[in-house]
Amino acid sequence: MKTTWKIILIVSLICNLGILYVARKALEYRSHINEFLEKYTYVVTEFSGRNNYSEANKALPPDSSEKGRIVFLGSQITAFWDLDRYFGDYQAVNRGISGQRAAGYLLRIVPDVVELTPRAVVIEFSSYNFRPENNIKEISDYLSSVGDIARMNAIEPIFTTVVPVRDDFYVDGIGDYSVQDSLKAYNRWLREYCQKKKYKLVDFYDLLADSKGNLPAEVSSGQILLNDKGYAIISLAILKTLDEIKR
């Protein structure tokens, strides 16, 4: 009898240890799931800004045909662009987010562009994205996908080259990496890409750069930002392109 009870106690102990082991593993698994969920939530909401305009998007009239709706998708150049001032003949919708990363464009193209059913989307990209860890191939993959998604949804993509940076532009901690060189390389790719795909292109760089390829002080309000004169120049160029689309 004593032997039987010993066996029962040993088996019971083993079972209890097994239950504790499974419970610990379940807690570990749950913590991993929560960690991945937090990372996903960060990427989709905070990093991409996907929810920044969710309420504004709901408030837009569903019919975009009466007054040509144009969405401006971009970073700080777009975010600070007074669209009503320059595009009164259109329903210009600003969907710019300062500091927007390349991947964020792809995460926002559906809620902030496709679902708004605009006639066209102006896609402005920022020098903020050019850093040692971001290669041109990766950036161009994101932006080409944005253009293709727009076209597949009967939305005319209008790309813009990256605005040049001022000669006093400086980023701490990037060593010998040249933002200017990467910016120019991306602009070369974009010109070739738009020509190949027959996408509209407005060359902001060509319109604004001085003889040395920098952003002049007379059209800028910061190292990578535009003043009223700078915005007037690029707005006129966009208006010409929009007029071409209307014909």
**What is the chain's pLDDT, residue by residue, as a tens digit (247 residues)?**
556 666 666 656 666 655 655 556 555 545 444 443 343 333 444 467 889 999 999 999 887 666 789 999 999 999 999 999 999 999 999 999 998 989 999 999 999 999 999 999 999 999 888 888 888 999 999 999 999 999 999 999 999 999 999 988 877 777 778 889 999 999 999 999 999 999 999 999 999 999 999 999 999 998 899 999 999 999 999 999 999 987 6
| pLDDT at residue 34 in the model | 40
The upper half-sphere exposure of residue 152, i.e. CA atoms within 13 Å in the direction of its Cβ, equals 8
**Residue with token string 């082991």:** 21
What is residue 173's three-state secondary structure?
A: coil
pLDDT at 39: 37
| pTM for the predicted model, two decimal places | 0.80
pLDDT one-digit tens code per residue, 153-186: 999 999 999 999 998 887 777 777 888 999 999 9
DSSP string of 36-60, one letter each residue? HHHHHHIIIIIIT-TTTTHHHHHHS
Beta-bridge mates of residue 73: 95, 123
In the chain, the amino acid numbered 70 is I
Return the closest-CA partner of residue 184 out of 164, 159, 208, 199: 164
| Spatial contact of 117 and 64, defined as CB atoms under 8 Å apart | yes
Going edge to edge, which strands form the sheet with 69-74? 91-96, 69-74, 120-123, 156-160, 200-202
d(CA 30, CA 168): 49
Amino acid at 30: R
DSSP codes of every residue in 6-22: HHHHHHHHHHHHHHHHH
* Phi-psi category of residue 171: left, alpha or beta, with phi > 0 → left and psi -120 to 50 → alpha: beta
Name every residue whose Cβ is closer than 8 Å to that of residue 45 and which is 6 or more positions away in sequence.
51
pLDDT given for residue 246 in this prediction: 74
